[in-house]
Structure 1
Amino acid sequence: MKIALFPGSFDPVTKAHVDIIKRSVGLFDKLYIGVGDNSSKKGLLSVATREQMLRAVFGEDPRIHIIAYEGLTVDFARSIGAGYMIRGIRTVSDFEYEKAIAQMNHSLAPEIESIFIVSKPGYSSISSTIVREILRHNGDVSQFVPKEALPFL
């Protein structure tokens, strides 16, 4: 069975995240969306709220499993039996950052393969960080997040 993990903070989930997930779910038998707590980012939503929001977005798709985790992502990937880790790439700087993480993860867990999915051009400027900033200033984020996420914001 091919099991993949798409880890992230999803604070909040964006249309760019949804695009990467929808494009990668068909490649695997099971796709876990791992909701991590990134200590280097100031969070907006609780982990529990982010899990609920992702469930609202992805409904009852039997291939998608949403679960929060703490600690090293590779340790979590091992615990769920994931042989693949999905990462979305929007920009060149994303690639450099994700490449460094993938190389470190490979050193820690060589059995887990990192797979980069390049975002569609229309989504390359959308990030959770920018969405949070718009929200902090009472801006309208409806064009950047899936409609199912709006009630959680």
Structure 2
Amino acid sequence: MKRIALFPGSFDPFTKGHEDIVLRGLRLFDEVVIGIGRNARKERYFPLEQMMHLIEEAFRHYPAVRVMSYDDLTANVARKEGATFLLRGLRNTTDFEYENGISQVNRYVYEEVETVFLITSPHLAPISSSIIRDLHRYGQQVDEFLPYKLVNQPA
């Protein structure tokens, strides 16, 4: 049986920290599905289609990585995709507190799913999507924090 992990997130944008979790996840799982969740209450900074394309390009040499978007409960998506694992990265204890509650709810919705937490590599821990968005919004160069090059100008 294939060991499939869903790596869910808004990925707005997808950072080198996220890339690190996926690459390390490939050592544990046969396939990693990067799932970009749609949140009707939040407007994206980077368009979803653009982010999907950039992530797909970043992993073009990794056939065990797939990118998708979804508008459903993460646990339901995992079940539909045949993923029995949710892959999550933790930068700090605040992330753990937040993720712990979500993992309990995911188990309630889909009893067979296990959440696997990987601690972010120390040199990538300060990177967050919100910081990248703020830097980009005010015209700062952010390519060193991303596994791809942005071609668009700040929004």
TM-score (norm 1): 0.93
Equivalent in the alignment of 1:109: 110
2:151 alignment counterpart: 151
The residue that corresponds to 1:81 in the other structure is 82
Q: Is the 8 A contact 2:13 2:51 kept in 1?
A: yes
Deviation at 1:7, TM superposition (A): 0.6
Deviation at 1:42?
3.7
Query: Does the CA-based 8 Å contact 2:4-2:30 persist in structure 1?
Result: yes
- Whether the aligned pair in 2 keeps the contact of 1:36 and 1:68 (CA below 8 Å) is yes
Q: After TM superposition, list the pairs within 5 Å mapping 1:34-73 onto structure 2.
A: 34-73=35-74
Instruction: State the identity as a percent.
Output: 38
How far did 1:40 drift?
4.9
Q: CA deviation at 1:108?
A: 1.2
Give 2:16's aligned residue.
15
Report the aligned-residue RMSD.
1.4
Structure 2, gaps ≥5 residues long = none
| Matched AA of 2:151 | P
How many residue pairs get matched?
152
> Could you report, residue by residue, the CA deviation over 1:13-34 in whole angstroms, capped at 9, with x for unpaired residues?
1010011111111211111010
Under a length normalisation based on structure 2, what TM-score does the superposition of the two structures give? 0.92
CA distance in 2 between counterparts of 1:20 and 1:111 reads 22
